[in-house]
Amino acid sequence: MAHLDLSADVVTLTQQLVDIFSVSHEEEEIADAVESALRGLPHLTVTRRGHTIVARTDLGRGERVVIAGHIDTVPLNDNLPSRQEDGVLHGLGSCDMKGGDAVMLKLAADVTEPNRDLTFVFYEAEEVDSVHNGLRKLTESDPHLLEADFAILMEPSNAAVEAGCQGTLRVDVRTTGERSHSARSWKGVNAIHLAGPVLARLNDYVAREPEIDGLTYHEGLNATGIRGGVAGNVIPDECVVEVNFRFAPDRSEADAEAFVRDFFEGYDVTVTDLAAGALPGLDRPAAKAFVEAVGGEVAPKFGWTDVAQFTKLGIPAVNFGPGDPMFAHKQDEHVPIEHIERCERLLKDWLA
């Protein structure tokens, strides 16, 4: 079993985590290592559900904070093992989000008398369909383990606070024609050709940019795939345009679906995935206190993150982690060492 040395510095610990292969659905080794390391800390109570590990203090403090991070990665892309170069740590998962996981482990090990009770959640399967998401499963199976006044998700955010997140909706927009031999194409109806107006509507789309809690979000409606065709000599009778709508958190799931169905009026629209966004919640006392403590300019989160899971539980949450999210999932995934160290320092100061 892989070993994690919690006495090591946070950068070395990040490298140890990165070098443990943990592509989604293959998190057993890293979950075992995290669980073993945390069970060696007497001030924490550790619970495991699948490959999700929860560690909690129970000091009777007046406030509880959840700090969470996923332990899985996207598939390998010739970017292991890790390496350090010019103040940057390279490797699969270094940015998304094992630098944040390392910060969590150091906090768990070093801050034994925090000024708030702490719950650390290291969860599986964030990079795949939400049905597998370990944090989502906890909200359903063990919501008491997530009870808190405030939550921090250690998603890469350039070591600054990114508030809320946008929702995401995926739909299939289907056109239907009639098959025929391509030598007698006029005897059929080409469904791929019928998809042209769908793409034209998308090309003419104008993004909405609402301001929420002083932050400007930017919606997006885009084709992300197209499929159709039967054979090289057959006029196709079906074509599907896959569309992703990233919607601002002031829209509900129902509002987002209604907008997309209205946008594609006249077409067969099938919803394939839908997750609500999360409002910034910067007016909540716990969020205000955290923002004041860590400083810097707060930005909106344009992607979807699991802060939305906490929103469903009524817990204000922000994204705050090392790494530039633009490098997540890239072959040259990396995280500035200074980001990892800054997140560790600011959180230790806040919790001590």
Rounded Cα distance, 67 and 87, in Å? 26
**Beta strands 88-90 and 83-85: pairing type?**
antiparallel
Alpha carbon 129 to chain centroid distance?
A: 11
| Among 101, 117, 124, 126, the one annotated catalytic | 126
Question: What does each C-alpha distance from 140 to 96, 133, 189, 313 come to in angstroms?
Answer: 25, 11, 47, 10
Can you point out the beta strands (E) in 50-156? Answer: 52-56, 64-70, 83-85, 88-90, 117-123, 150-153
Rounded Cα distance, 47 and 150, in Å? 20
**In this structure, are residues 171 and 323 in contact, taking their beta carbons and an 8 Å threshold?**
no
**In this structure, are residues 15 and 90 in contact, taking their beta carbons and an 8 Å threshold?**
no
**In this structure, are residues 156 and 217 in contact, taking their beta carbons and an 8 Å threshold?**
no
Rounded Cα distance, 184 and 196, in Å? 21
Residue 126 is a catalytic residue: yes
| Among 27, 72, 96, 333, the one annotated catalytic | 72
Rounded Cα distance, 273 and 260, in Å? 13
User: What residues are labeled active site?
Assistant: 72, 126
